[in-house]
Every structure is written in structure tokens, then in C-alpha cells.
Amino acid sequence: MFLINCPFCGERDQSEFSSGGEAHIVRPKQPTELSDDEWAEYLFMRKNIKGIQFERWNHVHGCRKWFNVVRDTSNDKILSVYKMGEKPPVNYK
Amino acid sequence: MPNYRIHKTEYIDETKRVSFKYDGKTYFGYEGDTLASALLANGIHLVGRSFKYHRPRGIVSCGAEEPNAICQIGSKKDLTEPNVRATELELYEGLEASSQNCWPNVKFDIGGINNFISPLIPAGFYYKTFMWPKSFWKKVYEPLIRLSAGLGKSPTEPDPDIYDHKYVHYDVLVIGGGVSGIIAAKMAAKNNFKTLLVDDKKILGGSTIYQNNESIKIDDKLSSEWLKNEIQEIKKLSNLSIKTRTSIAAYHGYNFLLAKENLTDHLPEEKKENKIRQRLWKIRAKKVVIATGSIERPLVFNNNDRPGILLSNSINKYLDYYGVTCGENIILFTNNDSAYETSISLHKKGIKNIIVDLRKSASSELIKQAESLGIKIYFNHVVTNTFGYRKINSLEIMKLSEDGNTTVGNKIKLSCDCLGMSGGWTPMVHMHTQSGGKLDFRDEDQVFLPKENSEDQISVGSCNGDFDLENIIDKTVNKINKFLDIDNQDYQDTNIICSKENDKRNIWLLPNKIPLGKTKCFIDFQNDSTAKDIKLALKEGFRSIEHVKRYTTTGMATDQGKLSNMHALGIIADTAGVKMGTLGTTTFRPPFTPLTFGTLVGRNVGKFFEVVRKTSMHEWHVKNNAEFENVGQWKRPWYYPKNGENMHDAVQRESKAARDSAGILDASTLGKIDIQGSDASEFLNRVYTNAWSKLAIGKCRYGLMLNEDGMVYDDGVTTRISENHYLMTTTTGGAANVLSKLEDYLQTEWPELDVYLTSVTDHYSTASICGPNSKKILNKLFPNLDLSDENFPHMSFKEDKLENINCRIMRISFTGEQSYEINIESKYGHSLWKMCIEAGKEFNLTPYGTETMHLLRAEKGFIIVGQDTDGTMTPSDLQMDWIVSKKKFDFIGKRSLYRSDTVREDRKQLVGLLTDDPKEILEEGAQIVSNVKSKPIDMLGHVTSSYFSPNLNKSIALAVVRSGKTMKGQKLIIPMENKNINVTVSDTIFLDKENKRLNA
């Protein structure tokens, strides 16, 4: 079970959090302008990486804040956490 | 009665005699015994029958790896426990144990016939045999297999014992209290690490604690004496906690470990009462030291499973720790030096023994010592067969050929009453691999070892493949210094003298003149798989160790192959001609030893199993005979039966009363979200499908919320309380998810919006009064409030006081009747309810539950999200196009409403159904077809809601049907088990299409 360093509360047990899938998928500003394929790309298509993955997590049984996590899915190590709206750390690609 | 307890030891308290029952007979042991040591002291080896062939089996080991001595403990229906390892169960006064898997008893077992028909039941027997005829599976084969499957008997009544969970955090966790674990714990604790040391035994010290060989010394003392001093010392360390009788069950990522502590299993019945039986420790440690040691390997030869055949080191422990000898004429069969320690120990206690050693020769201190004591050693010999049914009485040995592939010369027959076997040692890498660690293979002694250790985990001692004492201590000290980044000098000058093993020879499957097919060389004692089975699996084409394991069931018993997995791998490697290291191992899964369900569940049983939410009116509902329905965690009144009514009659009465005069519903459980901020209107515009900007203050509006995929997610009425203040209601079950979803959008997509969300579901209680007389009842409660349709029309909101307490009153309706929802602070909810009931008495105000609510809304064709929708329905599918704004630029899910799939005309759409026979009530979930003769039958949809309407005096139903919107008036069929029901597609609104009743 992970230990997640909530950027607002500090290190907490994974059972306090819920995962929200891939991070940095921005909701299109003008969905009506998009073709079915483009909208489907936003709506359905997600990466499933072995290696370094950017994820959204929510401290749902805590401060209820959403934030981003960089996790290596091959060993489950969390490499970095950062707040919503912040740019991902540059050393992870 | 024979007595095999031949000398006193400090671990057995001979002043405390303990009586216990085994298979109904009373025996005696002493405090400090395990069930196994007490049985052996009484000369009992035969403790069970094997799983498949029902062969007599005896105690093999002295620990967690025991495959045979598993017992049923106790006989009470609620407390009996199967598969308890006698080698780990501490003896207590009044213990009742019995052997398993035998009938009528362990000495004469009918199932023993399987042993003689064993050529007929090879590996994969079940898969090969029970294939045909097909119809036999369910009626004949499965019940038969089930009858013979399983080892012990489960308790049949709820477990009355108390279990507990506890979380702890440590700097360093040390697993295993043997010599390396003790050193690691001492070094950590003395250098200011908050340390926890756990060990599964009653006392610390591992196998060194009873070591008494003169050739193994530390600082001029016997290693056991030296270790006892160390234990005394660490007990004084203030930042070291020690937990004995505690075994690590699982090692998860991020150094999160589960440990089970036995608190009362060793106590007599009367002392167990009202105490916590077992505690599950949930441990987070910054660093973990694994010092779990190793277990001795058996050897694989013909008939290696008879009672009286044990692991050599276990014979040593029974002798030196428990004072019990396993026989009086013992043979030790070995491929390494450790059996010599046992031999010397036995010799010193006057027990005659000889050694059969696979190796051509060997030289070390131990071997010299044995030779000088005159112990007979057969080098380069192998045991080829054993004899004796209920206990071994003799065996045959033969000389090994030069290459070890075959036997040569004549058979030598030796008599004995006990055989010790030692095939070397297997490091316990379970914890390392459970945590995600990989393994390396060391060819020299054929062991898998922890590969790299991460910065927060390390393996030390024999679980790391360091076997002799000097090696163990030196390496442990160095590694711990490095691991903890400390410079501990405590062991700098420790002087260790020990015997060094120089010679190795390993043969996984020992050679024999008898063809393999006629031998019984057991690999997995508990599941009865033999070398022959493994070879058969390979012959039939299985290659992966994971497949061979499942086909032969090797390693799949309650002991999880602790003794068998390495031999299976070795034989596969030898047969397939590959290197063992390249095969990999099967997965080491938690738990290490079986856990009771009670330990896993802890306190979350009975009423603590799940959180129950009750409204503040709950007590009234209980007093008034309500039947309850679970909605999420809420207990909601379902219906209120009167005078022995059944559910149907109660619901008919409640529904009629609500439409004829007045009904009252506890609507407190609906989700309520308080929305404030200068962008609140804009926010609602984005989350609901309809427009919100123009909603006047004091007005209410129904909203439909979609997922981004365009499917209906939730619905509810939202009220504008002031310019920048709204109160949203959600479905009862959806409340928490809706709040999470809204927060997600606010925080991640629209952080620019000035909006604040607060869940106020629990803050307000809600009484909903509906029916033609509702206005009159409201007037009695709020005499100063102008209830005229002009001042307080449908879909509007007023505030007033009830005896000085503020109330929010919404005139909204889920029944189609004129209806008022009164919201009050929860602490006044019960009073509000009682005042409503009092005021409504003269109008036959009838409390109704969720079932009547569902019926009343169905009459009006109002959907219930989650009942009439299932996450695949768009607003258009629900014939609710009217609620989707065409003007709004965007809202959640808008773009998806015109994806090619969502605009399909043949989607399943919501319709009404009327049965041709108005008395016929459809079953919810029933399939709908148009033609029962076509094959396959084309299924058009299913019934989502169905009721008998007392107000219309006929059956009504809602359903989703393919292209349903265009089918009005069409005849369809609901095929049921015994009949076909004819129905006609109708409008979804069955009652008061003109909404006249809202203002009646």
C-alpha cells in the first residue's frame, strides 16, 4: 500500500486517497468544434504505461484536494507530487 | 505408556503437567511443549492420512513448514478450527485435537485403498477422467469430488472470539528473532532507531538457542549461552519493542506489513475468555531487516513419507529444546554437515544412530567429531527404500555410482525406528519476493537468494544464504552498519569458532533400481504429488513451473510448498536439461502461513460490519412498525405495514392515501449540496443540461446531470436561495459521487470559477408532505405563511419559522401531487416529523416509504436514476429532450449527445408498458421481445419499473426498448418461465398528463 505525500497534508496512507487516472488531459475549451474522433480521443483514450506515468489523485478522506503524482508503474515508486495547475517536473518524461 | 522424553531442558517446565486429548484419548505433556513435541514424547508419530492416497503420515518438522501434522482443534460448532499445525500449536490444559482426512480413524482408514489403486490416479486424473458424459458432471462427479475434497472441517457457527487491528510506525522492523535478527535489532535500537523485532515463536533465539555443540563457540561460550546473554541485553533497550508469537503474514509495497500476533491460543479455555484472541498489526517501517532464516530440505527417495521420517534438524530440536527423542535407533540421511550436529547431539544423550551420507567423503570439524565418537558413517550411499506401515521399521541403502546417476553394489538393510533426512537448506525468501524483490540462483548449493536489496529493505542471516555462524554474524554486522549508515562496534571483537562445511553434493531425485513408475518418491507430502507426477507433467508437454504446479498440485496445499517447491523445480530442471536458475520460481504469495478470517476482519463484524446512517426521524419509523430498505448506507422506511398487512397491501393503501388526501415521506436522505460564490449560476450552467442563469431567487428547478460521455448521471431539484447561493439536491445513493465529481471539475477544469461546495446532507432533515390536503396541513404548521398559488407557486421556495426554528420550505413534487418539502436543522427533525403527523391527523396524513414513493412517481413517469437508467441512457433515450438546452455553449456531456452512437435511432429508449390483462404485474428486469418463435429470440429491451397502480386500478410499467419512441401502441411480449405476457407500448406518463393535480 502506497504512502502518498499529499501536497497539502503531508504523507498519508493510500487508503485515504482515490485515484483519478491519467493527468494533464485538458478538457477541450470548445467541444462543439471537435470531430467525433477528436472528442473520442479526449473522452476515451488513455495511456497505459509501464514506466513513468503522470496521474491524478484525490485526498478524498482528507483535504479533498486533487493533485498530480508521478509514479513509476513498474515498481510503484512515487517520484514526485505537485499541485493542480503546476507544470510537471521537467526531469520526468 | 512409552516415554520418549529423555532429559530435562530449560524450555520444558516439568513441574507443570498439562493434559490434552488427541483423537479422543488423554495424554500428558508439559508447559513449553507444542502439540507435536507432546505427541512425540508419547511415542506418537502417526498423525494423519495423506490427501490423495490416504497414506499414513507422521510429524515431519518442528515449524511453519509442517505438511503432515495438521489437526482439527476443538469440537464446538463455533470454535473448531481445521488445519492447525501441531508443530506450532503450544500445548495447553484441556486442548482437544484430532487428526484429519481419515475415516473411521487414523490407524484404520477406508480411503487407504487409494494407495493401492494409485497407478489409476496419476497427475491430472480429475481433468482426464471427469470429462464425459457431460451430464454426469453436475449430478455425479462434482458432488463426489466435493465429498472427498478439503482437509479439515470448517466451523458452522459464527466465531465468538474477539480479534483486533492496530497500526504502528517504526524506523526499523526486524523480521525474525534468530541470531542475525537479534544482532540487527540490537544495532538499530542502540543507534536510536525506534525498532520492532517480531518472531513467530514463543521465545527468541531461532535455532541457535538450543545449539550445544562444543565445536561452535562465540567468545568461548556455547553459541546458545552467548545468545541468551544477547537476548537479556536487548530486552533492556528502551527503544526496542519485541513481539513474540507474531508472524508476518504479508509484505506489501512501501514497507507496509501485516503481522498476526497470537494472544490467547496458548492459554487454557478459561483464561481465553473475554480476551482478544489474535491481533493484526499493520506496520509501516522506514526500513525492514528480513532475518527469517531457512528451512531444511527433505530428500526425495522411494517411500520417503512414512511416519517416523523427519527432517534431521527437527529431530535435533525435539531432542535439545523439548527433551524428546524421536526414536531409539535413528538413521540420519544427509547430503550436508548439519545432520552431523543432530547425530552428535543424539549420541551424547545416548541415542544410537548412524549416518548415511550422499557425499563421497567430507571433512570438517563436525565430521571429525562424529568420527571420533565412533558414529558409523556410510559415505557415498543412498537410501533406496523404507519399510513399515504405521511407522518406519527398516530401510535399504545402496552405494552411489561415480556420477551419482545410479546405484551400484548390494542392498544393505538397516533396521531403525526413525529416519532423519537433510537435503540442505532453503533460504526463506518469501518476504523479500512478496515485497517485489527478485531472486538470484547460487549453483554451488542450489539456492535462490535475494537479488538486490533496495535502500529500505535488506535480508541477513541464512535467509540471505549465509549458513555458518561466523559468516552470519560477520555479514549481518557489516550489512546493518551500511544499511542504517551507522558505525556500531559492539561485535568488533566477537570471536567466533565454528565448523566450516567443505563438501557439497546435491541430487534432487535420488537414483533407484526400481523404475520410477513403481516408486513413491514424494515431493509434496500434503498434496501427495510424487516425482513421477512431475515427470508425467513434463512428458505431457507442460514446461512452465506455474503450469506444472497447477497440473500436479505441487505446492498448492496449506503449507504452500515450503518443503516441496525446490525439489519440483530441481526435477523439472534435471529432466528438461536446463539450469535450475533459469526456470524461475512460482510466486510467493501472502499470507506466509494461513490466517484466520477473524484476524483479517478484526472488529468489523456484526453491527460494526458496515456504517449505518439513520435520519433523525428513524426512531419514529421504528416505533411505527416501518420495514426498512438499505439505500447506500442509509436505512430508509420501505413501507409501514398496519394490522398484519403484507407489502403489497401496505403500498396500495399508502399510495391511495397520498393521492386521495395526504402522505408524508422522510426525504432526509436525499443528497444536499450547498453551493455559494459569485460564479454559482455559471457553475450550474456547466454541470446541468438546462439553463440556470435566469432562475429567479426563491425558485426551484429540476436538473439532469450527465457524464462527459453524455449518459445520465444524476438528477435533482436545485433552489436559488439568494443571488449567489443555491441548494442542490441529489439522489440518495449518488450524493457522495456527485460532490466528488463537482469538486473535481472545480479544482481541475474550472479553477477560475468562484464557487464553494459544502455537503449539508446530514445538516438538514426533510419531511415531504404531498396530496390534495397538503396545503391545509402546511397552513396548520405555518399559519403566517401565505400558501396561495400566487404567492407560493409550484417550484418555489419560502422560509418560515416553526416554533422559532427556521425552516426552508420547497414546493416541489416527485409524486405529481401538490407537495411541500420542509427542511429543518437535523436536531429538530424528529420534532418536525411529529408535529407534521399531529397536524395531519384530521386529514389522514399517511406516512409512506420508498416503495410507495417509487409507485407514485412511476404513475407520473418520473425516472429514478439508477433504476430506469443504467449509465447507458442519454436524455433523449429517456424522452427528456426538453431538459437539454440548445442554446448553451457547453455543459458536461453536451458534445457526446451528437456522437454517431448517441444519435442512433435504434438505441434503447424509455417507454411505458401496459399489460393486456390489467391485473398482471410484470417482473422488473424481465426481457421484452416481439416474436417468441424466432431463434435466437431477438431481445428488444427490459422492464425497469413495474407496479400495480391503485389510483389507476391497473398494472403499469416503465421499460427500455430498442427504438421504443416509435413503437407507441405496438404489441410486445414478455416471455416468462410459464407463460408469455402480452403488453402494449404506451406513453411514460400514466396519470394526470396535464399536471392538474399540482395546483388542485
Q: How far is A85 from chain B (nearest CA, A)?
A: 7
Q: Note whether B899 contacts A39, CB cutoff 8 Å.
A: yes
Q: What is the pLDDT, as a whole number, of residue A30?
A: 92
Tell me the C-alpha to C-alpha distance, in Å, between residue B208 and each of B182, B212, B224, B574.
Answer: 11, 8, 6, 34
Q: Note whether B899 contacts A36, CB cutoff 8 Å.
A: yes
Closest chain B residue to A77 measured between Cα atoms? Answer: B254
- pLDDT tens-place string over residues B320-344: 999 999 999 999 999 999 999 999 9
Q: Are strands A66-72 and A52-58 parallel, antiparallel or unpaired?
A: antiparallel
Q: What is the pLDDT, as a whole number, of residue B122?
A: 67
Tell me the chain B residues in contact with residue A23 when contact means C-beta distances shorter than 8 Å. Answer: none
User: Is the predicted pLDDT of residue B471 greater than 80, yes or no?
Assistant: yes
Q: What is the pLDDT, as a whole number, of residue B1?
A: 65
Closest chain A residue to B899 measured between Cα atoms? Answer: A36
- pLDDT tens-place string over residues B12-55: 999 999 999 999 999 999 999 999 999 999 999 999 888 788 88
Establish if A77 belongs to a structural domain. Answer: yes
Q: Note whether A39 contacts B254, CB cutoff 8 Å.
A: no
Residue B756 CA from chain centroid, whole number = 40
CA distance B806 to B822: 10
Mean per-residue pLDDT, A49-71: 96
A60 touches chain B (CB under 8 A): yes
Establish if A90 belongs to a structural domain. Answer: no
CA distance B282 to B286: 13
Mean per-residue pLDDT, B59-82: 93
Q: Note whether A65 contacts B747, CB cutoff 8 Å.
A: yes
Torsion angles phi and psi, residue B483, rounded to 5: -60, -40
Element (H, E) at B759: strand B756-759
In total, how many domains does chain A have? 1
**Structural domains of chain B in order of their starting residue, each with its CATH number:** 13-120 (3.10.20.440), 162-294+427-497 (3.50.50.60), 298-423 (3.50.50.60), 516-596 (1.10.10), 614-669+763-861 (3.30.1360.120), 862-999 (3.30.1360.120)
pLDDT above 90 covers what percent of chain B? 87
Q: What is the pLDDT, as a whole number, of residue B453?
A: 72
Cell of B524: 509434496
pLDDT band of residue B527 (cuts 50, 70, 90) is confident
Q: What is the pLDDT, as a whole number, of residue B119?
A: 65
DSSP states of B122-186: -TTHHHHHTTSSTTHIIIIIHHHHHHH--SS---SS----EEEEEEEEEEEEEE--SHHHHHHHH
A80 touches chain B (CB under 8 A): no
* CATH number of the domain to which A13 belongs: 3.30.2270.10
Tell me the chain A residues in contact with residue B889 when contact means C-beta distances shorter than 8 Å. Answer: 32
Q: Note whether A75 contacts B252, CB cutoff 8 Å.
A: no
Tell me the chain A residues in contact with residue B890 when contact means C-beta distances shorter than 8 Å. Answer: 30-32
User: Is the predicted pLDDT of residue B124 greater than 70, yes or no?
Assistant: no
Q: Note whether A66 contacts B890, CB cutoff 8 Å.
A: no
Element (H, E) at B687: helix B680-687
Q: What is the pLDDT, as a whole number, of residue B1000?
A: 67
Q: Note whether A31 contacts B747, CB cutoff 8 Å.
A: no
Q: How far is A25 from chain B (nearest CA, A)?
A: 10
**Beta carbons of B767 and B663 less than 8 angstroms apart:** no
Q: What ipTM does the predicted assembly reach?
A: 0.97
Encoded amino acid at B536, one letter: L
pLDDT band of residue B116 (cuts 50, 70, 90) is low
Evaluate the omega torsion of the peptide bond into residue A28 and state whether it is cis, within 30 degrees of 0.
no
Q: What is the pLDDT, as a whole number, of residue B454?
A: 79
Encoded amino acid at B494, one letter: T
Establish if A69 belongs to a structural domain. Answer: yes
Please provide the average confidence, as pLDDT, over all residues in chain B.
Answer: 94
pLDDT above 70 covers what percent of chain B? 95
Q: Which of B166, B168, B254 to mutate to test the interface with A (most CBs of A within 10 A)?
A: B254
Establish if A89 belongs to a structural domain. Answer: no
Q: B56: which residues sit within 8 A by CB, 6+ positions away?
A: B46, B49, B106, B109, B112, B306, B307, B389, B390
CA distance B843 to B137: 64
Q: Note whether B254 contacts A85, CB cutoff 8 Å.
A: no
A85 touches chain B (CB under 8 A): yes
Cell of B194: 525506534
| Host domain of residue A58 | 3-25+32-83
A65 touches chain B (CB under 8 A): yes
Establish if A93 belongs to a structural domain. Answer: no
Q: Note whether B895 contacts A65, CB cutoff 8 Å.
A: no
Mean per-residue pLDDT, B765-778: 98
pLDDT band of residue B588 (cuts 50, 70, 90) is confident
The alpha carbons of chain A give a radius of gyration, in whole angstroms, of 15
Cell of B376: 558409523
- pLDDT tens-place string over residues B132-178: 666 666 676 666 666 555 578 889 999 999 999 999 999 999 999 99
Tell me the chain A residues in contact with residue B253 when contact means C-beta distances shorter than 8 Å. Answer: 1-2, 76
Closest chain A residue to B283 measured between Cα atoms? Answer: A1
Q: Note whether B894 contacts A66, CB cutoff 8 Å.
A: no
Establish if A40 belongs to a structural domain. Answer: yes
- pLDDT tens-place string over residues B965-982: 999 999 999 999 999 999
User: Is the predicted pLDDT of residue A93 greater than 70, yes or no?
Assistant: no
Q: Note whether B708 contacts A43, CB cutoff 8 Å.
A: yes
Q: What is the pLDDT, as a whole number, of residue B792?
A: 97
Q: Note whether A76 contacts B740, CB cutoff 8 Å.
A: no
Q: B888: which residues sit within 8 A by CB, 6+ positions away?
A: B685, B691, B894
Q: Note whether B890 contacts A30, CB cutoff 8 Å.
A: yes
Of A2, A28, A64, the CB nearest to B743: A64
Tell me the chain A residues in contact with residue B751 when contact means C-beta distances shorter than 8 Å. Answer: 84-85
Q: Note whether B890 contacts A31, CB cutoff 8 Å.
A: yes
Of B253, B254, B895, the CB nearest to A34: B895
Q: Note whether B436 contacts A75, CB cutoff 8 Å.
A: yes
Q: Which of A22, A41, A54, A58 to mutate to test the interface with B (most CBs of B within 10 A)?
A: A58
Q: How far is A93 from chain B (nearest CA, A)?
A: 22
